[in-house]
Each structure stands twice: as structure tokens, then as C-alpha cells.
């Protein structure tokens, strides 16, 4: 059933060229079908009689965890494709290429989520990344877009190399790249000199930390997020980050669970740096896309807080956070797509002035996304923060919980700045006001924003189903493999 996801997505690539204008629809249908496939797989996996299973020579693991991420990633694809539809026509770039790349990249993400072998993680990562390098440079006429693609490519290649080296070291230390076998090996053997393994940990963390934009491996994030076409940024910030976390969480929280004493301090440092740098640097930005880029870094920090707790509760919190975050971030960048207008260049804060008067609903939606990111109650963002910080307190990481709280306050400042700009009254006769053109809201993007908005608010009000979903989606790591 998990293979069905793979096939469905692959079929999208092979099925020729659908009629012009329907690419986005096609992508969305594919993504939704994959989602349905995941939902079916979920029923299969949570059935106690059958449970999780592995496939393709133990290289792929289909369990609640991978299905959860399957759903997160397909949601991100569908929402981003809806955003891209109008964007591409507006920019005169319409064509199937971006959607194909998006599906390809999503496939890579799904592979990462299902991987039960370090090599498969690497395969998924490369599929994900190579498509993304092209997507980031998709806006051919913009220099920033080209620059961001090159930057992403160069740094991304480095991080892949780190990851690969890390895999090699772990293989050297444990004799396998299969998660189940590594875990079995580590359980059975006490390593006298585990320097090799620890170096492997470090390198794996560098490689995956790059993908999720954890500080200090974050330097590409603001530039790439700013330069890439905005729907691609939305995809980058949601699907790509989720896939990175899928691999990170599975590798560390379950496979190397026994060595948590070794990696928890590293994770602690990463989480603190990510939180602090992300939220503080966001304050000094003047470009909304860069602000959102830095805030996405600090969100990664919150997920790491959940990971650092190294408990089921922390893991469930991290999963819940990622799901809630996906909707918020796609929504936020979706608004940025619309406000950016033709040329995708104007993301400065003044462009948002008086948005509440020109487009009250759009401004309201953006306000909800921003408040959710700030963690205000009655939105999904609050429960997400509540969940991970609860896990941190339970794991007695009081200092980390406190730092997370402080950085939440600092980021709230950033979100409020944008909100204030939107609700600032533009005086009549103001020259700047006259220069602000009309913001068009096409139906596809409106649908995408609407879905994200409804999810954010409804989960804020009635979180139980999603909380349970995240709680049940724990990875089954040590399989009954041969």
C-alpha cells in the first residue's frame, strides 16, 4: 500500500501531457490520490492484527510514522500546486515542468519518510533536492532566483556529501545501513570505542540539519527562500522540511535511541541555536519573505525541542507541530505570493500596508496564520507549541523550555510587525497609498488559503483527532526483519 504512493506519483510523470491549464488540477488530483492511498495505508498499519510492514528487501518501512509524513507531504504538494497555478500564468511560465518537478521532489520526500535504510534516505534526499534546485531557479528572468538556485545547489551538494560520509561511518561502526539491523546490532553489542559511530552521528546530523534548516546549517535558508518563486518557497518550507525531519526523527529517535545520552546534548545545542538565531534575526529583517524564512528556522527549533525530549510524547509533539506548521507556512507564503504580484519582487513590509482595507479577507487570513505561528490559543500553532514544550518539561529540559518560550515571544514581535502593517490605516491622499495596486486573489490560490485557514482554526478548536493521529504515528523501528 505504501508502494502505491510511490507508483501514483511516478505515474504522474509518465502519463504524458494533459491539456493546457489542467496541470495544476492534475497535480492536485495526484496528490489527493496519494493522500487517499496513505489514508488506506493508515487503516492497514493501525490494525493491530497486521501492523507495520517492510517492503523491498527491508529497505522501505510502512508504519504509522511514514504514513503520517506521507500525508503531510502530499498536503504540501496539493496546496503549493494550487498556489503555483495562478503564479505561473501570471509570470508567463505556464507549463508542466514545475508540477513534474514538484511531484518528483515530493516522491523523494515520501521515500525519505518511508526509508528503513540509510542508503534509501540518501536516495530520497537526492531525488527531493535535485528537483528542488531546479525549482528554486525556475523564475528564469529574475537574477535572485538564479542566485538562490546556485547557492542552494552548492551548499546542498556539500550537505549531501556530509550525509553520505556519515552513512559510511555508521556502516563502518555497525556493519549495516539498515535501521532495523543497526538497532539490533547496537542492542546486542557494546562498542568499546565508539568514536566512529559518534562521528557518523555528527555527520548525519549535519546533512539532515541542512535540510531542515537548523542553525548553524541554515545560512542558505533566507537567501533561497527569498529568491525562489514564492510557491516553491512554500513547498520548500513545508514538504522539504517535513521530509528532512522524517529522516532525522527516525534515525535518531528510534534507530539510535540507545545512544540518546550521546546525541541529546548535541540536539539540545542545535535546538537552542536554531530557536534563538531564527527568532532574533527575524526581527531585523525588512523583507517579509526573509522574515518568514527566519521564522521557519525558529519553527524548526521547536520541532527539535520535541525531538530533544527523546520520548514518545516529544515525538508526537514534533509530528503534530510539523503537520500544523505545514498548513500555516503554506498559507503564509501563499499570501506572500499574492501580495508579491507580477515579478514576484515586492515583498517589502510597506507593500502590506493597508491590506486590511484593500483585501479584508486576505488580511484576516494572513493574521490568523501569523497568530498561529506566534502560538496564540485557539489556533493549531498554540497546541503545537504547547505539545512540544509539554514534552520538554516532562523530560526535565526546563532550560530548553524556557529558551523556547523566550524565542516565542521574540518571534511574536515579528508577526505583529507584519500584522500592524496590514492594519495600519493608509491615509487618503497618501502618495504611497495611491501607488499600491490592487491585489488579485485567483480562485485556486483562494482555495489553497481557505483549506490552510480552515485547518489552522479547526484544529485549534477541535484538536483531538489530530492529536490522536500524531500520537499513533510513532515509528516502528525494529522490525521483525530477517
Partner 1 sequence: MALAWAGYDGSGGFELVESVPWIPTLGVGYKVGLDGVSLPLAAMTALLFLVSIAYPVDLRGRARQYFAALLFLEAASLGVFLALDLFLFYVFFDVSLVGMYFLIAVWGHGDSQRSALKFFLYTLAGSLAMLLAILGLYLSSEPRTFDMAELIRQQPLDGDGLRAALVFLGFAVGLGVKTPLVPVHTWLPPAHVDAPGPASAILAGVLLKMGTYGYVRILLSMMPQTYERFALPLAIVATVSIVYGALVSLAQTNLKRLVAYSSVNHMGYVILGISAAAAAGVDGDARAASLALSGATLEMVAHGLITGALFLLAGSVWSRAETYELDELGGLAGRAPAMTGAVVLAAFASLGLPGLAGFVAEFQIFAGTFAIYPAVAAVALVGLVITAALFLRMIQRAFLGALPERWASWPELSRTETLALAPVLALIVLIGVAPAWVLDVIDTTASQLVGR
Summarize as ranges the residues that interact with partner 1 (CB under 8 A).
371, 374, 376-378, 382, 386, 389-390, 393-394, 398, 401-402, 405-406, 408-409, 412-413, 416-417, 420, 423-425, 462-464, 467-468, 471
**Least CB distance from residue 476 to partner 1, whole Å?**
20
- The residue (of 2 and 463) whose beta carbon lies closer to partner 1 is 463
Q: How many other C-beta atoms can be found within 10 angstroms of the C-beta atom of residue 57?
A: 11
**Least CB distance from residue 293 to partner 1, whole Å?**
22
Extended strands (E) in 280-417: none
Give me the half-sphere count of Cα atoms (radius 13 Å) on the Cβ side of residue 245. Answer: 38
- The residue (of 15 and 425) whose beta carbon lies closer to partner 1 is 425
- The residue (of 145 and 295) whose beta carbon lies closer to partner 1 is 295
**Least CB distance from residue 468 to partner 1, whole Å?**
6
* Residue 352: DSSP 8-state: G
* Residue 216: DSSP 8-state: T
Return all residues near 126 (Cβ < 8 A) that are at least 6 apart: 108, 160
Distances (CA, A) of 461 to 375, 376, 377: 13, 12, 9
**Least CB distance from residue 239 to partner 1, whole Å?**
27
State the DSSP H helix or E strand holding residue 185, giving kind and residue range, or none if neither: helix 179-188
**Least CB distance from residue 328 to partner 1, whole Å?**
16
> For residues 103 and 47, is the Cβ–Cβ distance under 8 A?
no
Q: Which residues pair with 60 in a beta bridge?
A: 55, 115
d(CA 327, CA 380): 9
> For residues 122 and 160, is the Cβ–Cβ distance under 8 A?
yes
**Least CB distance from residue 461 to partner 1, whole Å?**
9
d(CA 174, CA 228): 40
Nearest to 234 by CA among 374, 78, 130, 5: 78
**Least CB distance from residue 424 to partner 1, whole Å?**
7
> For residues 313 and 390, is the Cβ–Cβ distance under 8 A?
yes
- The residue (of 199 and 416) whose beta carbon lies closer to partner 1 is 416
- The residue (of 413 and 440) whose beta carbon lies closer to partner 1 is 413
**Least CB distance from residue 377 to partner 1, whole Å?**
4
Amino acid at each position: 500500500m505504501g508502494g502505491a504512493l510511490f507508483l501514483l506519483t511516478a505515474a504522474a510523470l509518465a502519463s504524458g501531457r494533459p491539456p493546457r491549464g489542467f496541470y495544476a488540477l492534475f497535480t492536485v488530483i495526484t496528490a489527493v490520490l496519494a493522500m487517499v492511498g496513505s489514508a488506506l495505508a493508515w487503516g492497514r498499519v493501525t490494525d493491530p492484527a497486521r501492523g507495520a510492514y517492510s517492503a523491498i528487501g527491508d529497505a522501505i518501512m510502512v508504519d504509522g510514522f511514514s504514513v503520517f509524513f506521507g500525508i503531510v507531504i502530499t498536503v504540501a504538494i496539493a496546496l503549493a500546486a494550487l498556489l503555483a497555478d495562478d503564479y505561473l500564468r501570471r509570470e508567463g511560465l505556464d507549463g508542466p515542468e514545475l508540477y513534474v518537478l514538484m511531484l518528483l521532489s515530493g516522491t523523494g520526500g515520501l521515500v525519505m519518510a518511508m526509508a528503513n535504510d540509510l542508503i534509501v534516505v540518501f536516495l530520497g534526499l537526492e531525488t527531493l533536492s535535485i528537483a528542488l534546485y531546479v525549482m528554486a531557479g525556475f523564475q528564469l528572468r529574475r537574477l535572485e532566483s538564479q542566485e538562490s538556485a546556485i547557492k542552494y545547489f552548492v551548499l546542498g551538494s556539500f550537505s549531501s556529501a556530509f550525509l553520505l560520509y556519515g552513512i559510511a561511518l555508521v556502516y563502518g561502526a555497525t556493519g549495516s545501513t539498515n535501521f532495523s539491523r543497526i538497532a539490533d546490532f547496537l542492542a546486542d553489542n557494546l562498542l568499546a570505542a565508539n568514536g566512529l559511530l559518534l562521528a557518523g552521528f555528527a555527520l548525519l546530523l549535519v546533512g539532515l540539519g541542512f535540510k531542515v534548516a537548523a542553525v548553524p546549517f541554515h545560512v542558505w535558508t533566507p537567501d533561497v527562500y527569498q529568491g525562489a518563486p514564492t510557491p516553491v518557497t512554500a513547498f520548500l518550507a513545508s514538504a522539504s522540511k517535513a521530509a528532512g525531519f522524517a529522516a532525522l526523527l527516525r534515525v535518531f529517535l528510534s534507530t539510535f535511541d540507545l545512544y540518546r545520552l550521546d546525541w541529546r546534548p548535541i540536539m539540545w545545542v542545535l535546538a537552542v541555536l536554531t530557536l534563538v538565531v531564527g527568532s532574533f534575526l527575524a526581527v531585523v529583517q525588512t523583507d517579509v519573505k526573509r522574515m518568514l524564512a527566519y521564522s521557519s528556522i525558529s519553527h524548526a527549533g521547536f520541532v527539535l525541542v520535541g525531538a530533544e525530549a527523546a520520548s514518545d510524547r516529544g515525538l508526537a509533539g514534533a509530528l503534530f507541530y510539523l503537520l500544523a506548521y505545514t498548513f500555516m507556512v503554506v498559507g503564509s507564503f501563499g499570501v506572500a505570493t499574492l501580495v508579491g504580484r507580477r515579478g514576484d519582487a515586492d515583498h517589502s513590509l510597506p507593500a502590506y500596508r493597508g491590506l486590511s482595507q484593500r483585501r479584508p479577507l486576505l488580511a484576516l487570513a494572513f493574521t490568523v496564520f501569523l497568530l498561529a505561528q506566534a502560538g496564540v490559543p485557539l489556533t493549531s500553532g498554540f497546541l503545537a507549541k504547547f505539545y512540544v514544550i509539554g514534552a520538554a518539561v516532562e523530560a526535565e529540559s526546563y532550560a530548553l523550555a524556557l529558551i523556547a518560550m523566550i524565542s516565542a515571544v521574540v518571534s511574536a514581535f515579528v508577526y505583529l510587525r507584519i500584522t500592524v502593517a496590514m492594519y495600519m490605516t493608509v491615509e487618503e491622499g497618501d502618495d504611497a497609498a495611491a501607488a499600491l495596486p490592487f491585489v488579485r486573489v485567483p480562485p485556486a490560490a483562494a482555495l489553497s488559503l481557505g483549506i490552510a485557514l480552515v485547518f489552522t482554526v479547526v484544529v485549534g478548536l477541535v484538536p483531538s483527532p489530530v492529536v490522536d493521529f500524531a500520537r499513533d504515528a510513532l515509528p516502528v523501528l525494529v522490525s521483525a526483519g530477517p
